[in-house]
Amino acid sequence: MDIRQEFPIFNQLVNDEPYVYLDSAASVPMPLSVQQRMTHFMNTDYANVHRGVYTLSQRASDQYEQVRQIVQQFIGAEKSSEIVFTSGTTASLNLVAQSFGEYFVQEDDEIFVSVLEHHANLIPWQELAKRKHAKLVYMPVTQDGYIDVHKVSFMVSQRTKIIAVTQCSNVLGVCNDIDTLSDLVHAKGGVIVVDGAQSVPHRHVNVSKYDFVAFSGHKLGGLTGTGVLYGKHKWLEVMKPVLFGGDMINQVDKFSSTWAQVPYKFEAGTPNILGVITLGESIKWIQNIGLDTIDKHNRLLTEHLLNGIKDIQGLTVYGTTDMTLRQSIVTFNLNPIHPHDVATGLDMEGIALRAGHHCAQPLMRYLNVSSTVRASVYIYNTLDDIEQFIIALKRVKEYFK
Ligand SMILES: Cc1ncc(COP(=O)(O)O)c(C=O)c1O
């Protein structure tokens, strides 16, 4: 399969240079096969789901529900009813905090988080801790930038109700030992909530050891505004819905109502039908290539990138450079040039990447910087892309000298 052919968007010059996309940690552009599936669905089967008895509505509903099974199989969930469709990782994590957190966390309980968290896996817990008068506890991080599970093992107690943790950091690219964290918190009767936004597109994630896992469709090559919350059935059963309206009810009376079964009680209103259809197709696209192939390719490019920039004077790479502990995100600064100037200079050379706090302000403070530059690769990037980036970065450095 020629993967580049799936992405006509890359066949263009940007600022007179070949376009090099190094922002896949933000979003993975939609491959042609996924786009084709979407237009085919729109042209042949499009109708609202779950509501109509007419043929097309039933066809649309069947395809929508089939995606639940595709996701279930992709992440190793026991039941397809454990898959809740949401608008993204942010919505999934907010749902867990607002519904499960409200039920499970009491005054003086502890919620463990870390400085590595994306704001989406931090602020919902801050707000819950405030509402419940619970304690937000920060798990220590090693010099290399991943969570120190050994230290955490001495911190967990019966009070530790939730460990909310990112599997792989969207800034440092390091991946945490979430299996050990899961064992630690389960031994004390608590649960683990995993932010899988940066891990699910890159590695086999088997959710069976975890209580909740959240991820986004647009980081897998699907549409924006689509995501998944995996939740263990026993927890979804006891959780209350937080969004009320059509499609999520069993019976509505004048003064009270009852809810549909799991997972429908969490999917109020007309869902993102196209988003779910593209999610299913993008997972198939990933499975066709194979997560092992994706991981191997990304590691090769990331190693090449790290080697190519490590000797540039003034350059600091954040997080470990040990490839066994990280994946395809490289975050750096090129002192004394401001990260936004680095990114703007690189844009002039056709290279798209991120500069800023990456929705991780506590991590920026921990690193003692206000912002960084982030390059992230995926299966469609080539060694030529990396070469162009390395040359461009050296040019930016010369320019600002
Ligand atoms: C680790 C992590 N968590 C959460 C999110 C939020 O995802 P979304 O904006 O799709 O809800 C992101 C997005 O960049 C992320 O990288």
**pLDDT per residue of the chain (401 residues) written in tens, 0 to 9:** 689 999 999 999 999 999 999 999 999 999 999 999 999 999 999 999 987 889 999 999 999 999 999 999 999 999 999 999 999 999 999 999 999 999 999 999 999 999 999 999 999 999 999 999 999 999 999 989 999 999 999 999 999 999 999 999 999 999 999 999 999 999 999 999 999 999 999 999 999 999 999 999 999 999 999 999 999 999 999 999 999 999 999 999 999 999 999 999 999 999 999 999 999 999 999 999 999 999 999 999 999 999 999 999 999 999 988 888 888 999 999 999 999 999 999 999 999 999 999 999 999 999 999 999 999 999 999 999 999 999 999 999 999 98
C-beta neighbour count of 222 within 10 angstroms: 30
CA-to-CA distance for 316 and 325, rounded, in angstroms? 18
155-174 in b/e form (b: 16+ CB < 10 A) is ebeebbbbbbbbbbbbbbbb
**How far does residue 32's CA lie from ligand 1's centre (Å)?**
24
Pocket test for ligand 1, best of 90, 226, 354, 378 (most atoms within 8 A of CB): 90
Helical spans, DSSP H, in 213-272: 233-238
Atom of ligand 1 nearest to the CA of 92: 11
**How do residues 18-57 score in pLDDT, each as one tens digit?**
999 999 999 999 999 999 999 999 999 999 998 788 999 9
Closest CA to 333 of 358, 308, 369: 369
Q: Is 381 in the pocket of ligand 1 (CB under 6 A)?
A: no
User: To the nearest whole number, what is the mean pLDDT of the chain?
Assistant: 97
**Which residue matches tokens 């005054």?**
107
- The predicted pLDDT at position 1 comes to 67
CA-to-CA distance for 101 and 190, rounded, in angstroms? 11
Q: Is 216 in the pocket of ligand 1 (CB under 6 A)?
A: yes
Query: Global pTM?
Result: 0.97
- The predicted pLDDT at position 401 comes to 83
Q: Is 88 in the pocket of ligand 1 (CB under 6 A)?
A: yes
Q: Is 90 in the pocket of ligand 1 (CB under 6 A)?
A: yes
Q: Is 167 in the pocket of ligand 1 (CB under 6 A)?
A: no
**How far does residue 258's CA lie from ligand 1's centre (Å)?**
32
In angstroms and rounded to an integer, the radius of gyration of the C-alpha atoms of the chain is: 22
The whole-angstrom distance between residue 69's C-alpha and the CA centroid of its chain comes to 20
**How far does residue 115's CA lie from ligand 1's centre (Å)?**
15
Contacts of 37 (CB under 8 A, 6+ apart): 277, 278, 281
CA 263 vs CA 57, 70, 234, 245, 267: distances in Å: 20, 15, 12, 15, 7
Name the catalytic one among 359, 369, 390, 400.
359
Name the residue with the closest Cα to ligand 1, atom 12.
197
**How far does residue 59's CA lie from ligand 1's centre (Å)?**
31
Contacts of 251 (CB under 8 A, 6+ apart): 257, 258
Contacts of 124 (CB under 8 A, 6+ apart): 93, 94, 96, 97, 98, 101
**How far does residue 91's CA lie from ligand 1's centre (Å)?**
10
- The predicted pLDDT at position 33 comes to 97
Are the C-beta atoms of 98 and 239 separated by less than 8 Å? no
The β-bridge partners of 326 are 174
359 annotated active-site? yes
- The predicted pLDDT at position 2 comes to 87
Are the C-beta atoms of 371 and 356 separated by less than 8 Å? yes
